[in-house]
Amino acid sequence: MNSKLFIGQDDHAPAPRWQQLLRHPLLRPLAALAVLLLIDLLLIPGFFRIEFKNGHLYGSVIDIVNRAAPLMLAALGMTLVIATRGIDISVGAVVAIAGTVAAMLIGGTVVMHNGVPEYASNMPMGWALAAALGVALLCGLWNGLLVAGLGLQPIIATLILMVAGRGLAQLLTDGQIITVYYQPFFFIGGGYLLGLPFSLFIVAAMFVLLAVLMRKTALGLFIQAVGINPVAARLAGIRTAALILFVYIFCGLCAGMAGLMISSNIKSADANNAGLLLELDAILAVTLGGTSLAGGKFSLVGSVIGALIIQALTYTIYSLGVPPEVNMVVKSVVVFLVCLSQSAEFRRLFQSITQR
Amino acid sequence: MTTTLSSAISWRAVLARPYFTSLVTVVLLLLMFALGSIAYTGFFSLQVVFNLLIDNAFLLVVAIGMTFVILSGGIDLSVGSVLALTTMISAYLLQVWHWPALLVMVVVLLLGAAFGALMGVLIHFFKLQAFIVTLAGMFLARGLCYLISINSITIDDPLYVAMSQTRIGTATAFVSPSVIIALLTLALAIYLAHYTRFGRAVYAVGGNEHSALLMGLPVGRTKITIYAFSSFCAALAGILFSFYMLSGYGLHAQGTELDAIAAVVIGGTLLTGGYGYVAGTLTGVLILGVIQTLIAFDGTLSSWWTKIVIGALLFLFCLAQRLMSLGAEKAANVPGSTPAEGKRSLASARPAL
């Protein structure tokens, strides 16, 4: 695959249109998703049926997209980190921390209102959400400082928060699962707007914001430059450290929002299990989307498609009645295949075999 | 004036000694143990030390394998899952197929080594990142556990039960057979790392893979052997874990890979590869064990403090490693610097992951 084509800014290629299309980097993830959906279409009756009930859209597709929302957010943040040659394995821990902070600050106490018991939040919800996101930002800042300031390897720098983060979240909740009773909080992860799940709007807003930042400012170019060659980027006058700090903070923020979504969806905060292994799914989504783990090339759309592939895969496995535990085996096989397909050595081997 | 200068230089020389981090770890371990002995009655006893070894024998074995991987500049995230898979396969072979215990052990050890070797082949021949390959290996091994059975399988094989209950030593100070196995593994690993061609190749690959290749070292064979050895250790740890728990379960030993990495780092092995001692890993494992023991003895502290303290220690040691390698870079400009300093500044200059 031609790496120059990756971002899709291919102005001077005289190749025919269909060839350009064939070489488009998003072709493979899209094809994978299409194959999955085709399997669903053939094997699961009524998979594409969408109903309109009580002002909401219902259906398997909506369900998949809705459940993929936290993963999409985490994958967006992870994309930028991976594009700078980094990795953030503390995403799951940040999800747990943000969810815990929000749940603790909102909670829900019974208040008699005109003789009707109602649940009121401990703190105005806006402040509580801001506090939770603030903590997530701090987590990202911590990771960023370790990577950009101290120069630690990203995997180890974020390992520290991954180990300690869940401990901190449990410390906050005293090891308990905190249940939230305040109704408006449930809207983030379970509400509907214009018939569509509200979480989708959050993801869309984040995606648009990021896409504009990457395309309309030089940020995208800088991130790519740092990913391709950090030393050359620094010598070219890019403030590498500040940029790396930014991507980790952004990844923390995305993880925090995913955490809010998850805890709002399950109406509680579980410091031990919320977002467990989410970082791995996010990395997998980013890889599936065609972003190279070696840094440089990245594709935001690809990561979103990757997240959808993972969720569609999970849904398919559940719907087909295959034990859900098989999911892990399938995922691992997918990772192996995707990695092999990215490996130049493997392609050479494959070509020499097929041409014989 | 001269004396302060010379003492400053000698202090810096001590700081720059290759074994300095390992020394700090040992001092820290002794300090923590002394602290516990002063604070809690009954802490200062031989049995507490032995219990540390009994409870962490499997972690020690996993961490030994991990040490080789990290020394070579790689990482192996699959060890915890391989451990769980080993307990699961052993339990299944013993309880359902009724294979003899010794045969089961040989089979799972071979399977473990083969699993690691396969990952090593992917990492070396297809130039894939160790991190992502072993991550997929982690998913695969855990998933395979659940394919065998979702529930826990109890092991009642006489040999396993005997290994679980045997006490070696006196009534007041005893160890389990697992401890002996773990310490033998440690001895073997120290021999492998410091007295064999393979060990030197591991350090060379970790220092600079390209140079190692140009020097004519068998880089590919070494890397594949390293991952095979790491998975072999994980499988051995799985056997020890089945002695300890007498069951096979897919949820066994979750997060062990992180504990093992933490132990290796705290033990003084440089994360960029090429520098460290296998023996340091024992200290690292013991420090993790002492933290847990301290928290257990205190009684008022909750289990999550373990995670927080391990995270904090990990941070401190990474910080120390970084500052020392920066210091070594400066010291390298001072005449009379040892080759070890140059080596470390080289290691720190390599790009991160």
pLDDT digits (tens, 9 = 90+) for A285-300: 888 888 877 777 888 8
SS3 B278: helix
List the pLDDT tens digit at each of the 353 positions of chain B. Answer: 445 555 555 666 666 666 777 788 888 889 988 988 888 888 888 888 888 899 999 999 999 999 999 999 898 989 999 999 999 999 999 998 889 989 999 999 999 999 999 999 999 988 888 888 898 898 899 889 988 888 888 888 888 888 888 888 877 778 888 999 999 999 999 999 999 999 999 999 998 888 999 998 999 999 999 999 999 999 999 999 999 888 888 888 877 888 899 899 888 888 778 888 898 899 999 999 998 888 888 777 777 788 888 888 888 888 877 777 777 666 665 544 444 433 333 344 334 33
- Is residue B175 in a domain? yes
pLDDT tens, residue by residue, A120-139: 666 777 888 898 899 999 99
B350 touches chain A (CB under 8 A): no
B 27-86 → A contacts, CB under 8 A = 75
Specify the CATH number for the domain of residue B258: 1.10.3470
A 331-350 → B contacts, CB under 8 A = 331-333, 335-336, 339-340, 343-346
Cβ–Cβ below 8 Å for A156 and B135 = no
Question: Which run of H or of E encompasses B263?
Answer: helix B256-266
- Count up the domains in chain B and report the number: 1
SS3 A106: helix
Among the listed residues B123, B325, B213, B176, the one whose alpha carbon sits nearest the alpha carbon of residue A343 = B123
Of B133, B307, B352, the CB nearest to A151: B352
CB of A132 within 8 A of CB of A98?
A: yes
CB of A331 within 8 A of CB of A100?
A: no
DSSP string, A122-167: SS-HHHHHHHHHHHHHHHHHHHHIIIIII---HHHHHHHHHHHHHH
B300 touches chain A (CB under 8 A): no
DSSP string, A24-90: -TTHHHHHHHHHHHHHHHHHSTTTT-EEEETTEEEEHHHHHHHHHHHHHHHHHHHHHHHHTT---TT
Q: Which residues contact B14 (CB under 8 A, 6 or more apart)?
A: B20
CA B234/CA B68 separation, integer angstroms:
13
Cβ–Cβ below 8 Å for A340 and B142 = no
For B270, the token pair is 């440089």
Helix ranges restricted to H, B268-334: 278-298, 304-331
B251 touches chain A (CB under 8 A): no
For A50, phi and psi rounded to 5 degrees?
-120, 125
- Is residue B3 in a domain? no
Of B143, B348, B351, the CB nearest to A230: B351
Residues of A in contact with B140 (CB under 8 A): 328-329, 332-333, 336
CATH code for the part of the protein at A54-341: 1.10.3470
pLDDT reported for residue A33? 84
Note down the domain range covering B301.
19-349
Res. A339 pLDDT band, cuts 50 70 90: confident
* Local structure of residue A183 (DSSP, 8 states): G
CA B189/CA B275 separation, integer angstroms:
15
Which whole number is the average pLDDT over A82-92? 88
A166 touches chain B (CB under 8 A): yes
* Percent of chain A scoring above 90 in pLDDT: 15
pLDDT reported for residue B84? 93
Cβ–Cβ below 8 Å for A157 and B129 = no
SS3 B299: coil
Res. A9 pLDDT band, cuts 50 70 90: very low
- Is residue B4 in a domain? no
- Beta partners for B168? B175
CA distances from A2 to A308, A335, B342 (A): 25, 21, 40
Of A152, A335, A343, the CB nearest to B126: A343
- Beta partners for A269? A178
CA A203/CA A138 separation, integer angstroms:
21
Q: Which residues contact A186 (CB under 8 A, 6 or more apart)?
A: A180, A264, A265, A267
CA B145/CA B137 separation, integer angstroms:
12
- Is residue B264 in a domain? yes
pLDDT reported for residue B186? 95
CA B179/CA A92 separation, integer angstroms:
34
> Is residue A7 scored above 50 in pLDDT?
no
pLDDT tens, residue by residue, A309-318: 888 888 888 8
Torsion of the alpha carbons at A259, A264, A270 and A274, rounded to the nearest 10: -40
A241 touches chain B (CB under 8 A): no
